[in-house]
Amino acid sequence: MGPAPIIACRPMSDATGKSFSNLVDILAQLRGPQGCPWDQEQTHDSLKRYLLEESYEVLEAIDQKDAAKLPEELGDVLLQILFHAQIASESGQFTINNVTESVRDKLVRRHPHVFGDAVVKDAREVEANWEQLKRQERPDEKGASLLGRIPKDTPALAYSQLMQDRASKAGFDWKSVDGVLEKVAEEVGEIQEAESQEAKSREFGDLLLALVNVGRWLGIHTEDALRQANARFARRFAQMERLAAERGLSFADLPLDQKERLWQEVKAKEDVG
């Protein structure tokens, strides 16, 4: 596919452009001869963990609906992007301009219903067109599996959902969510019947796969759903410990029925709030 057409877009404001340029200049200074020793020794590989950590902090701010914290966390992710671009520019690989131009061109190419003459009826058709245009842009991958471009380091639940999304778009899917729910029940039974630890592990994996499929059918992002459930459990558990301490009790020594009562008490307070 040829280059994207030139589109008359609203220009960046002077203030936004200056702010972005200042950030780029600061990264160059930090990496320069008179800069920071820590920044100077970083590489693409050494920064990987920070990009991941900062991304999860953005998700946490979104989950908490913390509008005050979100700009800061998004800024930390932007910092990582600028950091990688600065490192690459020093070796002549690419610059931040290549990054922004690449995403600009991609947005224009994949929105022909906005920047061209294409017509779509809804968001689902936009998604289908996006995938088709993406395949057209990668002729070297002709014949490759639809699942082949999912990054292997993607967390397992998110990977499963992406994998099943793509399989569904290729027509490999249940006719309704009822079939998926029946599959969940079947997998639970197979776990109960499994005799070896290896078999139990395999059947448990199949159960997780089926549960992810249920989430997909219900429009739930399972990675997000589990992360939020983890946060609720951790918050409630800490509140149970606090209540026990306030009442002069050792939480660890409480019998299970009393722990359960504390759990229900904490949960009821959350529900009221």
Kindly indicate the confidence band of residue 251, based on its pLDDT and cuts at 50, 70 and 90. Answer: very high
Give me the residue label for tokens 């340029």: 21
Contact 116, 5 (CB under 8 A): yes
What CATH code is carried by the domain that includes residue 78? Answer: 1.10.287.1080
Residue 195 placed within a domain: no
Structure tokens at 79: 């910092």
Residue-level pLDDT at 141: 64
What CA–CA distance (Å, rounded) separates 186 from 179? 10
Residue 189 placed within a domain: no
Residue 46 placed within a domain: yes
Q: Which of 71, 92, 109 marks a domain boundary?
A: 109
Range of the domain at 258: 223-272
Using left for φ > 0, alpha for ψ between -120 and 50, and beta otherwise, residue 41 falls in: alpha
Residue 35 placed within a domain: yes
Q: What is the pTM of this model?
A: 0.70
Residue-level pLDDT at 1: 42
Q: Could you tell me what percent of the chain has a pLDDT over 90?
A: 74
Q: Could you tell me what percent of the chain has a pLDDT over 70?
A: 93
What CA–CA distance (Å, rounded) separates 28 from 150? 33
What CA–CA distance (Å, rounded) separates 160 from 140? 25
Residue-level pLDDT at 140: 66
Stretch 32-51: mean pLDDT, rounded? Answer: 95
Count of structural domains, the chain: 2
Residue 147 placed within a domain: no
Q: Which of 24-33, 55-64, 142-151, 210-219 has the lowest mean pLDDT?
A: 142-151
Q: Which of 91, 109, 127 marks a domain boundary?
A: 109
On the question of pLDDT at 5 being above 80, the answer is: no
Residue 257 placed within a domain: yes
Residue 3 placed within a domain: no
Q: Which of 84, 109, 134 marks a domain boundary?
A: 109
